A and B are shown apart, each in its own frame.
Chain A
Amino acid sequence: MPISNHAFGAIEASVYAPEIFAQGLPAAQRLAHGDRPRQPAAEDAAPLLAFEGIGLSFGGVVALADVDLSVRPGEIRAIIGPNGAGKSSLINVISGVYRPDRGHVRHYGARYAQVPTQRLARLGVARTFQNLALFKGLSVLDNVASGLAYRTRSNFAGQILGVGRTRREQQEQRGRADQVLEFLHLTDVRDRLAGTLPYGLQKRAELARALVAEPRLLLLDEPMAGMTAGEKSEMAAYVRAARDRFATTVVLIEHDVGVVMGLSDRIAVLDYGRKIADGTPDEVRNDQRVIDAYLGVASDNEEGAGI
């Protein structure tokens, strides 16, 4: 795969760059440096990911109706909406867990009716889950290293006998996993079983597992759900740092509108499976339909006549 090799080469350079260890730069500093991986032409370039007329329903329940959405390379793209608006369905469509009834997903120029889940990692897509999906019986390090399992080329016999490329492969995977753990400040818990970590750290370990593959597209399904305000801003900083360090495009689903406004470049708002707004945080904040969806519309019939 020439494309991905090229990508790995470019990213490796950034991973091993000395400034990677100066983690968690504040946002202002980042902007001052202007070290965004995005190229100037990227704004106009073809979208990394696009939904074209996606429709999905479960029985009579319409989860998504004719949703169009595009994601540019290098941006943090948030999808927000009230409960049941179809946000998670959208992420599940991108990762191939659901097959849409109508429309298709365009990813890196290729068109999919259903995204092939098995090949997702090879396509450069990684995701986290709304409900924790770590492998509880593995250590944090092994969990993170498993994010590279798709690249394993040795077979089980070679691994049992310890011959061939096995040893080098394992060292390389662990080395990369260690780097990501350090980047996300998880080194202290690297040998603990993932299931024994507190919730916030599990969320972060899941982010590490997704990041270790250095994906071009990172899907985060409610990465801050159930966190305290402090943990949320910490997580937001990690997401931003990850985008900057790994040159990754982020698609993010979140409940907490406040965090999303500060974090994202562009925001799409879903309500009842339809996209009701799409734009920069400022545009979305002032959009009347968004305010209606979140705060509710004053009824015309306030006096209750006729009830």
Chain B
Amino acid sequence: MSAIATQLSPAAALPKWLAPLLLIAFAYVVIPLIGNSYLFEAILLPFLALSLAGVGLNILTGYAGQVSLGSAAFMAAGAFAAYNFNLRIEGLPLVASIILSGLVAAAIGIVFGLPSLRLKGFYLAVSTLAAQFFVQWALTKFSWFSNDSASGVIDAPKLSIAGFEFDGAVGRYLFALTVVVVLTFLAHRLVTSQTGRNFIAIRDNDTAARIIGIPVLKTKLLAFAISSFIIGVAGVIWAFAYLRTVEPAGFDLDRSFQILFIIIIGGLASIRGAFLGAALIVVFPLALSRLGNFLLGDVFDSGVLDMSQRIVLGALIILFLILEPDGLVALWDRIWRRLSLAWQSS
């Protein structure tokens, strides 16, 4: 059914890479011209960091079917690793310290992925909580990680690549955008490759996967490693480009849940889903606060905002799970199909 609909749609005539390419061009050229610093600081930077984290978690949870509640821990590992590489190795280029920090996160991901060889579903999710608590505890307990800073809160270094400084909101936005575009492209290549199909095979039926000769254990650990790598780099963007401080408190369990919600609302096993979900999660509280202020005025203070956010977000998640388990992506595709059919018949 869906195959027929795609054939009918006018978009099918256009190459698949055109839409993402136009979007990237828009993000590089138009947005820096029209955006103000509020747009970059409050919306686009957290959106980019959370989208990337969503892409990373989607590889693990959406594609490979391993539920994880430790995303924020891998973000923290990435952020602190990048900070320490930058601090302790003189003259290390930023790109190298980002890649190294991703590798550190990947290594931690493999360690905490080991229980997945025996545990499944809910039990695995609980065991990944260990990563969440352990990493946060270690970063707080050993002040070496934060260079013995008294407050535990440290300023992120300036972003510069090959002498070019990414200063100001626009610079940091372009830096984050570049990292996200590159990693998302690689992630897309991965999930459409043989390895990506092995992930799906293990998710859908791991006994059958084992019997047809897919190396299940290796593939699961690979999913943990790649996912943690991407989430770790997302942590670097979060700390270096968005917050510009590195502190363990921002990478708590709430953040892990937030990333999990992003992929559930956006759509599991979909790269686009991570971006749609992140957009909703980032824009939604801001929109709610604007709307609350507009409708209720002073009564709508930050306490009420926080509470109403939780209520509405919770309701939204329940609604999504019931009405559209495949997430915003499925909704998007359906609307798009309807529109193109309507356009054709008119």
Chain B 153-190 interface 0/1 with A at a Cβ cutoff of 8 Å (1 = within): 00000000000000000000000000000000010011
Nearest Cβ distance between residue A119 and chain B, in whole angstroms?
8
- CB contacts (< 8 Å) of B203 on chain A: these are 135, 137
- CB contacts (< 8 Å) of A217 on chain B: these are none
A142 at the interface (CB under 8 A from B): yes
Give the complex CA separation of A159 and B198 in angstroms.
12
Give the complex CA separation of A150 and B203 in angstroms.
17
Nearest Cβ distance between residue A125 and chain B, in whole angstroms?
8
A120 at the interface (CB under 8 A from B): yes
CB-based contact B204/A135 at 8 Å: yes
CB-based contact A149/B212 at 8 Å: yes
CB-based contact A138/B193 at 8 Å: no
Nearest Cβ distance between residue A209 and chain B, in whole angstroms?
7
From A57-65, A66-74, A126-134, A249-257, give the one contacting chain B: A126-134
Residue of chain A at shortest CB distance from B192: A159
Closest 7 interchain pairs by CB?
A150-B213, A121-B213, A159-B193, A133-B208, A135-B204, A156-B195, A160-B189
CB-based contact A160/B186 at 8 Å: yes
Nearest Cβ distance between residue A79 and chain B, in whole angstroms?
18
Interface residues of chain B: helix, strand, loop or mixed (majority): helix
- CB contacts (< 8 Å) of B226 on chain A: these are 156
Give the complex CA separation of A117 and B3 in angstroms.
36
**Given the contacts A146-B197, A159-B193, A166-B193, A117 and B208 also touching, CB distance less than 8 Å:** no
Interface Cβ pair total, 8 Å cutoff: 96
Nearest Cβ distance between residue A157 and chain B, in whole angstroms?
9
Nearest Cβ distance between residue B220 and chain A, in whole angstroms?
13
Nearest Cβ distance between residue B1 and chain A, in whole angstroms?
8
CB-based contact A120/B211 at 8 Å: yes
Give the complex CA separation of A161 and B186 in angstroms.
8
**Given the contacts A135-B205, A159-B190, A160-B186, A150 and B214 also touching, CB distance less than 8 Å:** yes
Chain A 133-172 interface 0/1 with B at a Cβ cutoff of 8 Å (1 = within): 1111110001001110111101110011110001001100
B254-269 CB contacts (< 8 Å) to partner A: 269
A234 at the interface (CB under 8 A from B): no
Residue of chain B at shortest CB distance from A173: B194
**Which of A135, A159, A162, A196 interacts with B195 by CB under 8 Å?**
A159
CB-based contact B212/A156 at 8 Å: no
Residue of B3, B186, B213 with most chain A CB atoms under a 10 A cut-off: B213
- CB contacts (< 8 Å) of A96 on chain B: these are 211
Give the complex CA separation of A260 and B222 in angstroms.
44
A192 at the interface (CB under 8 A from B): yes
- CB contacts (< 8 Å) of A117 on chain B: these are 210-211
**Which of B1, B190, B211 interacts with A121 by CB under 8 Å?**
B211
Give the complex CA separation of A256 and B49 in angstroms.
58
If A133-B207, A149-B212, A156-B195 are given as contacts, then 18 extra A-B residue pairs at C-beta distance below 8 Å, sorted by A number, are A117-B210, A120-B213, A126-B212, A134-B208, A135-B200, A137-B204, A138-B197, A146-B197, A146-B214, A149-B194, A150-B213, A150-B214, A154-B194, A156-B222, A159-B189, A173-B194, A191-B3, A213-B212
